[in-house]
Amino acid sequence: MSRNIDYTFKILMLGSASTGKSSLSDRYVHGIFSEDIKLTVGVEFFVKTIEYQGKRIKLQLWDLGGESRFRFLLPTYCLGSSGAIFLFDLTRPETLLALDKWIGIVKEKNSGVPILLVGNKNDLDNERKIPVDHGIQIALQNGLVEYIEASAKSGDNVEFLFQKITEYMLKRAAILKLQ
């Protein structure tokens, strides 16, 4: 018999184009990495139900495409989210530039939700342009909960990072219940 869901969490997958938002979602939810993943148009959804700390939790990943004609929808997408993952590409420093804008939108729509900073593509170690220390510093400066480096391609740290954000979302849900 299937047990009830204790929590449903909406997680925003944020970041510039081609940072690996769809690949990371696909890797986590379906356990695969496809080199020829399609460009995301509008928004795509990935859903995974997990057991964590004795709770049954449904994670809904909102994977936002970067097309400018959908940009006006972004603040609406952010409504009611429980957490966000901001991805950048470790080989392309310019993918960090969008961080301010995204954090601003998320905080305006849902104050206090945990935002995790993820440096993706750590399999491309020879092409890395951002050192670990820099990522940690950016996370601290912007009040993000943690900095994690990962690879949608190799799968490195993928389970771990979703576990981390789930941990923070559970903590926040417990605090909100007390209020």
10 touching ligand GDP, by CB under 6 A? no
How far, in Å, CA of 24 to CA of 162, rounded? 10
Interacting residue with ligand GDP among 6, 18, 92, 128 (CB under 6 A): 18
Stretch that binds Mg ion, among 17-25, 92-100, 128-136, 156-164 (CB under 5 A): 17-25
Smallest separation (angstroms) from Mg ion to the CB of 36: 12
8-state DSSP, 179: -
Choose between 21 and 164: whose C-beta lies nearer to ligand GDP. 21
Q: How far is CA 20 from CA 12, 47, 57, in A?
A: 13, 17, 24
Residue in the block written with tokens 């696909």: 26
Interacting residue with ligand GDP among 103, 115, 121, 164 (CB under 6 A): 121
Query: How many other C-beta atoms lie within 10 A of the C-beta of residue 93?
Result: 12
Stretch that binds ligand GDP, among 68-76, 99-107, 118-126, 129-137 (CB under 6 A): 118-126
Residue 15 Ramachandran class (φ > 0 left, ψ -120 to 50 alpha, else beta): left
120 touching Mg ion, by CB under 5 A? no
21 touching ligand GDP, by CB under 6 A? yes
Residues contacting ligand GDP: total by CB under 6 A: 18
82 touching ligand GDP, by CB under 6 A? no
* Maximum pairwise Cα distance, the chain: 50
Smallest separation (angstroms) from Mg ion to the CB of 21: 5
Pairing status of strand 7-14 against strand 83-89: parallel
How far, in Å, CA of 34 to CA of 22, rounded? 10
Q: Which residues bind ligand GDP (CB under 6 A)?
A: 15, 17-23, 35, 37, 40, 120-121, 123-124, 151-153
Q: Which residues bind Mg ion (CB under 5 A)?
A: 21-22, 40
